[in-house]
Amino acid sequence: MNANATLPGAIATDEPQPTVRQRARIGLLGASGYSGQEFARLALRHPGLELSVLFSRERAGRPASESLPGIDPRVHAMPAFVHPDELSSRLEANEFDTLIACLPHGEWAKLSAATPAVSAAARVVDLSSDSRDGAHGYVYGLPEAFRGDIAAATRIANPGCYPTATMLALLPALEAGWLGGPLMVSALSGVSGAGRAPALRTSFVELDGGAALYRAGTEHAHVAEMERGLSRIAGRKVEVGFAPQLAPMARGILLTATVPLARAVPPADARSIYLERYRDEPFVRVLPPEDWPETRAVRTSNRCDVAVTTMHGGRVLLATAALDNLVKGAAGQAIQNLNLMLGWPEDWGLPKHGNPW
Amino acid sequence: MNANATLPGAIATDEPQPTVRQRARIGLLGASGYSGQEFARLALRHPGLELSVLFSRERAGRPASESLPGIDPRVHAMPAFVHPDELSSRLEANEFDTLIACLPHGEWAKLSAATPAVSAAARVVDLSSDSRDGAHGYVYGLPEAFRGDIAAATRIANPGCYPTATMLALLPALEAGWLGGPLMVSALSGVSGAGRAPALRTSFVELDGGAALYRAGTEHAHVAEMERGLSRIAGRKVEVGFAPQLAPMARGILLTATVPLARAVPPADARSIYLERYRDEPFVRVLPPEDWPETRAVRTSNRCDVAVTTMHGGRVLLATAALDNLVKGAAGQAIQNLNLMLGWPEDWGLPKHGNPW
Amino acid sequence: MNANATLPGAIATDEPQPTVRQRARIGLLGASGYSGQEFARLALRHPGLELSVLFSRERAGRPASESLPGIDPRVHAMPAFVHPDELSSRLEANEFDTLIACLPHGEWAKLSAATPAVSAAARVVDLSSDSRDGAHGYVYGLPEAFRGDIAAATRIANPGCYPTATMLALLPALEAGWLGGPLMVSALSGVSGAGRAPALRTSFVELDGGAALYRAGTEHAHVAEMERGLSRIAGRKVEVGFAPQLAPMARGILLTATVPLARAVPPADARSIYLERYRDEPFVRVLPPEDWPETRAVRTSNRCDVAVTTMHGGRVLLATAALDNLVKGAAGQAIQNLNLMLGWPEDWGLPKHGNPW
Amino acid sequence: MNANATLPGAIATDEPQPTVRQRARIGLLGASGYSGQEFARLALRHPGLELSVLFSRERAGRPASESLPGIDPRVHAMPAFVHPDELSSRLEANEFDTLIACLPHGEWAKLSAATPAVSAAARVVDLSSDSRDGAHGYVYGLPEAFRGDIAAATRIANPGCYPTATMLALLPALEAGWLGGPLMVSALSGVSGAGRAPALRTSFVELDGGAALYRAGTEHAHVAEMERGLSRIAGRKVEVGFAPQLAPMARGILLTATVPLARAVPPADARSIYLERYRDEPFVRVLPPEDWPETRAVRTSNRCDVAVTTMHGGRVLLATAALDNLVKGAAGQAIQNLNLMLGWPEDWGLPKHGNPW
């Protein structure tokens, strides 16, 4: 029996435990949105993270627990929300050292440009799409592809949920140089991916019991991000078509990518390459033969499940993936990036098991 | 103005009304399953159809209203279910003339082989996959493609729900000779498509809040049906890959087909061809530009909504469709086929509008 | 074969068909909300009703089909929405004679006070709570209790969905004089009952997979309406406690009322009184013994299902009911009231059967 | 910085940590059902519990991870399921010391009668209803009411989910002697409460989008358990009426109890008594005024949220509660009981915060 067995509280006591010299103190922008809430929930269970300042424009002055449903305020007496106007003064007072931006697209770019004090933050992770093209020195934070860059960075652009699923579904095939033409991604997403601002299109009655395609083709904002990320992985230009769909569920992305191959690849070979490539990845699992991804298996976890085969004499690759858009597609991946930046074990404090219902 | 305009009760009084000399008297096999129930509900509103005998193996002797939830038995005093062992005797007694088989795959083939009296039925529509390869003289019942054959037939194999959506999404493109290689179909289905027999995989808790891929690739039973139907439409061999998905909703199919094209087709040309081809089809609607199909819009209707574009310089067609798997994908299409066989207006008694919630 | 068999289009061809000399021409206020949409859908299948003018403040000038998802505009070429500022001029031009107000609570009271031309409307049915206390000569439109008054009226206040279910669950018991003290109503509602204006509390993610109590006690606006209606039925003051709950479904109310009785009533006697009282009501069904209401059985129908028993030696009545809040709880009941006002068969054009999924 | 900061992995590092001399080694019967799965998931995060043997009749020999969706088998290499025929031999081999029975009602009574070796188990917690009447020396395991008895016991009958919610909603009022007559419980439950055996009534299509009452009155098996528990708490005979309802969600119980009071109690007094009584209970939270329970706030947690008021001049108490039927209503409460039996902190390893979506 190891020492840990007498020190309960651990989720997984058999894992080696890192030594933390200093917790990262988090300033969280957009704490009442879905990504912000999920980050807060995950941070509360992460021993190396401390939620120091929670910012919210509309709810400034209100107890943060009001916007974090499920939290028992007797256990975690959350501080009051702080107005983002105080971002500079709180940073200068050294109330936090790590900034997590869970703002709507465009807002962090504006806010950081107007707030010189941001340069004092030891680390920034931006969950919006503002810096995913590498603007302002942000490093694109897909750990499975760009681990080394992330570990050396202080500014991270966290990938989008659809692009994360797409890149993890295709990474081994593109690294192997198999791509033979434009690829097609068909994916369905849970409704939390559309954000928390009330809108008719995300109302319960409009969505329950049905599914809808939207902005299919090559125009969706995620297509450019996918093409950029996949091209970097493949070392050549990759063209993407995209058919996003909204399904009547709160969380989850289920994705199917179809790829014409430059040469015939037998199904077993495709699977072997994937297994080999992902063997040591803590958050990507290649499913057994005949199994296909489902969103419940990864629900509330930071894991992405992947399955592949080839068809039509090996000329077409079918690659599929499932992940939780709020965790591996947003807040969980942000913490995975933080762990790397801080020199901590990459999987520290992150859920590996899904809670299916 | 005909007499009907002053004789209310009509759903759509402005439509020309056919004269019915004789109602078709229906014998319904599998009346308690989802397709059987839907057929019964639609038949109750169709003035030309009379539900004469409802067969059910497990519920023989019980009031049929017990398995038709929603029916007020004070209004429709449904007869008791009859055991299928009485199929011959009821046919010989001329209690019905039109047989609708809503049985699990394989059962109608067995039952009809063992029941010579079936030859006495004036018309048979088989909703299972048993005769979709043309066995025993069954005509494949996709009205939009094979209207003339259906009108002349007495035995119809009703197409599957996935194949119906696939063929309607691709019909104009294939007729135009655009196909340039194997095509890919990614589709999600509501749970009623999996039938009514209790099973863990269709239990509420196992499905609510998540989505799952299953049997992806080229092995699914529907792939052969799709390839057969599409090849006949295209006049050449068509290869299909298929990624079916189960979404947490009771009804509906939402489908995306990706097709490499033999020559570049501009998006507007693709749309024009579809609009032209479907202009007079009562049950296929091409959506306005920028609109994409959603299952709610066709819910409980016999309509299929279609939208198309091309990508990557016109080299790849993206064709999408939504329909209700129980109506246009099963019972509604069976009635559309009956209308054709009986020389009635093809759209008679069939709902054209969806009831979205 | 009866004559009707040659007059197809009828939902229930065996019912006697009324002779309509003149259709009612409808002006519909609030046509894009859930009650307004449902009224439009029901009116399209009612041979005596014509949708003449559809008013919408925000969507004036846009095609009405845009806000009526599911309608195929090729079949029903809906007119454009008209701004409510034109209410007077359209009335004066005699473009419609019957006004249906599906506005948020408070708005019809304001609009009608500011629009003297409203007095020219032959009939008004107000679906809001504005006139349910009998203000401005409005008659309370619960047909099962106040049929005679309704038939003689030109102004109807359509009851709320919770009060309709409550009154139908309790009507026979109160008429029989059984009430012995304050009664308690516990009810759950589908989300469409909360209206269509986007709000965080009716967003999909906030509601899927959970249920919530809200404003329980005696303060809910519906409590006063319940007490007023029940007191009138009982002929004495009735006190009500209320526990409303929001369930993750689009439609339906499921209600349980607990009533202390003035004298002991055996369960069988309670059931007999209900059966007798509702025998000839077209839209209230007393379920068989051991059956209890469920919302699916009445989904999209104008029916209310009721079941009762007594407990604790007959001293406490348990009365239960289910209805569709958008139909019997709103738009369907409005048409039932119109049928009465116009001297038409009360059930004309209204669905009696539920469509459970 | 406290010592815990260097010992990461803890969910809540500020809580005092117990010293465990020896883990409890669990034999889990019925591991593939919903309660069994939930127990397994909770045990994996509890540092004092070790899943030693997982029994399953139908799945004996198969890897346990197959029936524990979401678990990544690379992280937890679960053992194979063992057939319950090996219960005696495994007990005699001392492979486990604590038996958790998550079997359908009736099965544990039979199995334990036929298995004398069970007497060797140091502890047994039975989650079925078999021993809730105190048979065979089982102690009724509602910690908030019977903490002392539980700590001294080796055999626990874990309360049902509906009775747990009912007793926690009413405990302070009954202890205060307020009860004045038969009380009424109206409650809705998520579908997992009906077990995992496939059945038509728990199929997705039969439940999605609707809600249903079932077995209302005084006959439901839970009524006897409620009356027994409440009578013991009140110190007098308590009569209960019950209206259970199935809502379209996987987890959660939402409950409303109506209680005639022996004397008038002002709303504020009722709330004060509840606050006082539950102040130190780790798993019962009295909500702030105007807040009412919702199932999402306690989802996947071991917490029960409670809110109360009085009505009609203080003569009627309205008490409401929400809990997760699989956690506080089953597996979580079993662990709470185990913590007490083992002399550990009662809340050790148990989630206090809900994960709302």
What pLDDT does residue D221 have?
Answer: 83
Is C247 within 8 Å of D188 when comparing Cβ atoms?
yes
How confident is the model over C118-134, as a mean pLDDT?
Answer: 95
Of A214, A247, A315, the CB nearest to B188: A247
Query: Which residue numbers in chain D have pLDDT < 50?
Result: 1-15
Chain B residues interacting with chain D (CB cutoff of 8 angstroms): 34, 190-192, 196, 198-200, 202-209, 248-250
How confident is the model over B94-110, as a mean pLDDT?
Answer: 96
Chains within contact range of chain C (3+ C-beta pairs < 8 Å): A, B, D
Q: Which residue of B has its CA nearest to C38?
A: B355
Domain assignment present for D194: yes
D319: helix, coil or strand? strand
Domain assignment present for B310: yes
Is A17 within 8 Å of D5 when comparing Cβ atoms?
no
Domain match, C282 and C231 both: yes
What pLDDT does residue C10 have?
Answer: 34
Mean pLDDT per 10-residue interval, chain A, length 357 residues = 32 50 93 94 95 93 88 88 96 97 95 94 96 94 98 98 98 97 97 93 95 93 95 98 98 98 97 98 96 97 98 97 98 98 97 91
Higher-scoring residue by pLDDT: D22, B298: B298
* Helix residue spans in chain D (DSSP H): 34-44, 87-92, 107-113, 143-151, 161-175, 204-207, 221-234, 267-278, 332-341
Asked whether residue B282 carries a pLDDT value surpassing 50, the answer given is yes
Of A213, A307, A357, the CB nearest to B208: A357
Contacts of A184 in chain B (CB under 8 A): 184, 258, 316, 318
Q: Are A188 and A211 within 8 A, CB to CB?
A: yes
Record the pTM.
Answer: 0.94
Asked whether residue B336 carries a pLDDT value surpassing 80, the answer given is yes
Domain match, A95 and A136 both: yes
Number of domains in chain C: 2
* Helix residue spans in C93-220 (DSSP H): 107-113, 143-151, 161-175, 204-207
Domain match, B83 and B195 both: no
Q: Are A219 and C260 within 8 A, CB to CB?
A: no
Chains within contact range of chain D (3+ C-beta pairs < 8 Å): A, B, C
Is A218 within 8 Å of B296 when comparing Cβ atoms?
no
Q: Which of C232, C230, C253 is nearest to C241 (CA)?
A: C230
Q: Which CATH number do you get for residue A295?
A: 3.30.360.10
Mean pLDDT of chain B: 93
How confident is the model over B283-292, as a mean pLDDT?
Answer: 96
Domain match, D265 and D215 both: yes
Residue B272 vs residues B266, C66, C111: alpha-carbon distances, Å:
10, 22, 46
Q: Which CATH number do you get for residue C115?
A: 3.40.50.720
Q: Which residue of D has its CA nearest to B193?
A: D205
Of C181, C213, C320, the CB nearest to D254: C213
Q: Are B142 and B165 within 8 A, CB to CB?
A: no
Domain match, C120 and C189 both: no
Residues of C marked as catalytic: 161
CA dist., res. B78 & res. B71, Å (int) = 9
For residue C211, give both structure tokens: 């249920």
Asked whether residue B6 carries a pLDDT value surpassing 60, the answer given is no
CA dist., res. A296 & res. B126, Å (int) = 36
CA dist., res. D212 & res. D194, Å (int) = 13
Q: Are D30 and D56 within 8 A, CB to CB?
A: yes
What pLDDT does residue C65 have?
Answer: 85
Domain match, A100 and A177 both: no
User: To the nearest whole angstrom, how far is the Cα of B294 from the nearest Cα of chain A?
Assistant: 4
Chains within contact range of chain B (3+ C-beta pairs < 8 Å): A, C, D
Domain match, C206 and C266 both: yes
pLDDT digit string (tens) for C288-297?
999 999 999 9
For chain A, the distance separating the N- and C-terminal CA atoms, rounded to the nearest angstrom, is 33
Contacts of A48 in chain D (CB under 8 A): 8
Which of C185, C213, C300 is most worth mutating to test chain D (most D CB atoms within 10 A of its CB)?
A: C213
Q: Interface pTM (ipTM) of the complex?
A: 0.93
CA dist., res. B353 & res. C43, Å (int) = 13
pLDDT digit string (tens) for C180-217?
999 999 999 999 999 999 999 999 999 999 999 999 99
Q: What is the 3-state secondary structure (H, E, C) of B67-86?
A: HCCCCCCCCCCCCECECHHH
Domain assignment present for B49: yes
Is C208 within 8 Å of A208 when comparing Cβ atoms?
yes
What pLDDT does residue D6 have?
Answer: 30
Asked whether residue C79 carries a pLDDT value surpassing 90, the answer given is no
User: To the nearest whole angstrom, how far is the Cα of D156 from the nearest Cα of chain C?
Assistant: 30
Domain match, A200 and A315 both: yes
Domain assignment present for B16: no
Higher-scoring residue by pLDDT: B8, D115: D115
Q: Which residue of B has its CA nearest to C9?
A: B10
> Counting Cβ atoms within 10 Å, is residue B110 exposed (0-12), middle (13-18) or buried (19+)?
exposed
Domain match, A311 and A170 both: yes
CA dist., res. A323 & res. A294, Å (int) = 8
Domain match, D213 and D301 both: yes
Domain assignment present for C153: no
User: To the nearest whole angstrom, how far is the Cα of C227 from the nearest Cα of chain D?
Assistant: 13
Q: Are C179 and C261 within 8 A, CB to CB?
A: yes
Contacts of D202 in chain B (CB under 8 A): 198, 203-205
Phi-psi region of C290 (alpha: psi -120 to 50; beta: other; left: phi over 0): left
Residue A173 vs residues A227, A249, A319, C199, C280: alpha-carbon distances, Å:
15, 30, 9, 44, 70
Is D300 within 8 Å of A355 when comparing Cβ atoms?
yes
Q: Are A25 and A98 within 8 A, CB to CB?
A: yes
Domain match, D212 and D139 both: no
User: To the nearest whole angstrom, how far is the Cα of C303 from the nearest Cα of chain B?
Assistant: 9
Domain match, D37 and D51 both: yes
Q: Which of B287, B169, B269, B275 is nearest to B229 (CA)?
A: B169
Contacts of A323 in chain D (CB under 8 A): none
The residue range of the domain holding A292 is 161-325
Domain assignment present for A146: yes
What pLDDT does residue B79 have?
Answer: 85
* DSSP annotation of C16: P
CA dist., res. B111 & res. B108, Å (int) = 5
Q: How many residues does chain A have?
A: 357
Domain assignment present for B244: yes
Of A248, A293, A299, the CB nearest to B249: A248
Domain assignment present for A272: yes
